[in-house]
Amino acid sequence: MDLDLLPARMINEFVYCPRLFYLEWVDDRFADNDDTRLGRHVHRRVDTEAGAAPLPEDGELLRARSVTMSSERIGVIAKLDLLEGDGGSVVPVDYKKGGPREDGTAWPTDEVQVCLQALLLRDNGYRCDHAEVYYATTRQRVRVELTAERLAWVQDMVADARGIADAARAPLPLVDSPKCVRCSLVGLCLPDETNALLARQDRPPRSLVPRDPDQRPVYVSEAGAYVGIRSGRLDVTGRDKEKLASVRMLDVSQLVVFGRVQVSTQVLWELFAREAPVLWMSTGGWLQGYAIGQPSKYVELRRRQTALHAQGGSGLAHQMVAGKILNCRTLLRRTLAARSQARWPR
């Protein structure tokens, strides 16, 4: 048996869409959208460890948050949002941002995740008779019974997910599915485009709207300046300790410093965690070096890049650059034409 443990949340993604599971788990690709950010906001409290979770032989579990458990037998690891004691047994409660189905039951994706948590509890010696899903939108808990049929289905999903993960390529996308519209990876998955090329759907692809990130670069050119972090903000101070600028870290896409500017280690750690690079430039603007956090584990991209380079792939890069220059030229010509027809005050 492969002892690499699958996170229970990845089985949630597999039930939602096998291709999404593959892109996130195998290719290590991820993108944020409003739903993922809202989900993190809902989890902000239960993501903080609190309370004690003693093993059954060591004491009674009353209430604990953010408890990590695993089982090599099942091959799964999970972080349990909330654990509550219930007369000698325990109940896992998983937090979700949305609401239940129209009939008041939990969604299959949520059922599989919370049932896996219950199985992990049982494997670690706890008694668990049922599980619950808390939906933040409707502020209600939905009980999930641990029937034999449901638990067998859950273990089948784990086995199927492992089979997909061992494949050389991602599975094909869903066809004309409403799930794709709200998926954070729709711009990477390209379900409509892929299905259209493979003649798997009749209707034309839906239009994609490019993502416009809120983050912007921060440039620091003041000689002798110091870049530090305080209360989630990037602070720039001058050599006389006067504050020159203060920017929220979540608004920073990259940090570019010119000349003799000092950057604290805490700033580097935070930017690396946010996948934001730091670039050191000379006073005249020449690149001296840069630093970034751990690179992406998207192995397939690296493999294709290496194969293309061996085939003389520089020609493709030249075509891409030429296309960008042509687009810029077209845009400039259109802008100049529009300005020449307008009346500008002198």
Domain ranges within the chain, ordered by starting residue: 6-171, 174-208, 216-291, 318-346
| Beta bridge pairs of residue 7 | 77
Average pLDDT, the chain: 87
What pLDDT shows up at residue 106? 95
**Is the per-residue pLDDT at 344 higher than 60?**
no
Cα(252)–Cα(235) distance, rounded to whole angstroms?
A: 12
pLDDT digits (tens, 9 = 90+) for 294-325: 776 666 677 777 777 777 767 777 888 999 99
Cα(204)–Cα(182) distance, rounded to whole angstroms?
A: 19
What pLDDT shows up at residue 47? 75
**Is the per-residue pLDDT at 135 higher than 80?**
yes
First to last CA, the chain: 78
Is 0.75 topped by the overall pTM? no
For residues 277 and 285, the answer to whether their CB atoms sit within 8 Å is no
Q: Which stretch of 89-98, 105-114, 336-345 has the lowest confidence by average pLDDT?
A: 336-345
pLDDT bin (cut points 50, 70, 90) of residue 341 is low
- What three-state secondary structure class fits 30? coil
Mean pLDDT of 229-253: 92
* DSSP3 helix / strand / coil % (the chain, rounded to 5): 40, 25, 40
For domain 216-291, give its CATH number from 3.40.390.10, 3.40.50.740, 3.90.330.10, 3.100.10.20.
3.100.10.20
pLDDT bin (cut points 50, 70, 90) of residue 30 is confident
Cα(224)–Cα(217) distance, rounded to whole angstroms?
A: 20
Q: Between 343 and 11, whose confidence is greater?
A: 11
Tokens for 69? 């458990």
What pLDDT shows up at residue 1? 36
Question: Locate tokens 């810029």: which residue?
Answer: 328
**Is the per-residue pLDDT at 196 higher than 80?**
yes
For domain 6-171, give its CATH number from 1.20.140.10, 3.30.1050.10, 3.40.225.10, 3.90.320.10.
3.90.320.10
